[in-house]
Structure 1
Amino acid sequence: DLVIYNSLGQTVKHFNLQPGASSLSWNAQGSNAAKISSGFYFVKLKQVTESGKILSENAKILYLK
């Protein structure tokens, strides 16, 4: 799963990634299909390995229109 949050911690967009996915294209629209505003966003990537171990990465991104 990949989830994008705004600076208030609210979910902007949630992606269910397929196993083995190595890239993702995003049109900068939130879950409500509205374009997001310029600003900082937080991305959380969570993956479960075949052995059941949960891997998680967080990143901060800047989106500019």
Structure 2
Amino acid sequence: MKVKLFTELLDGNVPLKVQIKNSKLESEINEFIKDKRVIDIKYQSTLTTILNRYGHKEPQYECSALVMYEEEN
């Protein structure tokens, strides 16, 4: 068994629903798994607050997926 981790940072000022619709994460995962036997996929999203260069708080989403797979023979 092998694993592959995918991550994407999203702007917390834009609604998450809109960003997920335009996200590259889904297409990257689909492209990766097309010739693999997928055992499991674990998905997680986290909302954090970061300080910008002006000292203002800005929300930021991090979406990640862990793909557990085996190579097709």
TM bin, normalised by shorter chain, reads 0.3 to 0.5
Which structure dedicates a bigger proportion of its chain to helix? 2
Which structure dedicates a bigger proportion of its chain to strand? 2
TM-score, reference length from structure 2: 0.36
- Decide which structure has the larger Cα Rg and report it: 2
